Amino acid sequence: MDEFDGILVLLDAAEGRIAGRTTIQKLGYFSTIRGAVRAHYRPHYYGPYSADIAGAIQTLVSYGFIEERVETPAGAGETPDWRRYTYTLTDDGRELVQEMKEEYPRDAAEVKEVVDICRDAADLDSKTLSWAAKVHYIQTREMRDMSPDEIREIARTLNWDLSEGQVQKGMDLLTNLHLTGG
């Protein structure tokens, strides 16, 4: 399924709501690696990033299939240091996602499995998902299994600073996702 359908099915699998663009990006990445979603990824600050996914999110918001809510730190008059975007399926989005699940049952089941594993193993934490995506991206690029030290060394060439613990947490999630190996 394409990135538009993939985002709708991702949201549905996450009970209709996902907090954070990074979380959607990484769930989309793992769903792409597992063959359920078609999107292109390149290295970015938070790991593999897809302009396809980012654009599809904005399009789905503009069409009213998903709702975007922006959270900032509380405090009157303060300049927010961060923003978190939360995405929720609308009623129209829920209707459309039912069609996607009927049209792409295998892909929808694969996406649901990715979301369920990431929820159970990492509580859909964007940092843990990013670490795992970075480790996977590096191992795939190098086409081999690598030690944590080798992964950290190559990560630095991509301007990714990963600790040994972060690499290990990423590798653990990849094991749960059945995405180990190069």
One DSSP character per residue, 116-152 reads HHHHHHHTT-HHHHHHHHHHHHHHHHHTS---HHHHH
- Please state, in angstroms and rounded to a whole number, the distance separating the CA atoms of residues 137 and 156: 13
Q: State the 10-residue block means of pLDDT for the chain, 182 residues long.
A: 97 97 97 96 94 98 97 67 90 96 97 98 97 96 91 96 96 94 52
What pTM was computed for the model?
Answer: 0.93
The pLDDT score that the predictor gives to residue 181 is 58
The pLDDT score that the predictor gives to residue 39 is 96
Pinpoint the alpha helices (H) of the chain.
Answer: 3-13, 21-33, 51-62, 91-103, 105-122, 126-142, 148-157, 164-176
- Please state, in angstroms and rounded to a whole number, the distance separating the CA atoms of residues 107 and 5: 10
Q: Residue 100 to residues 3, 63, 151, 159, 163: CA-CA distances in angstroms?
A: 12, 16, 37, 37, 39
The pLDDT score that the predictor gives to residue 84 is 87
The pLDDT score that the predictor gives to residue 79 is 63
The pLDDT score that the predictor gives to residue 83 is 83
Domain ranges of the chain: 3-176
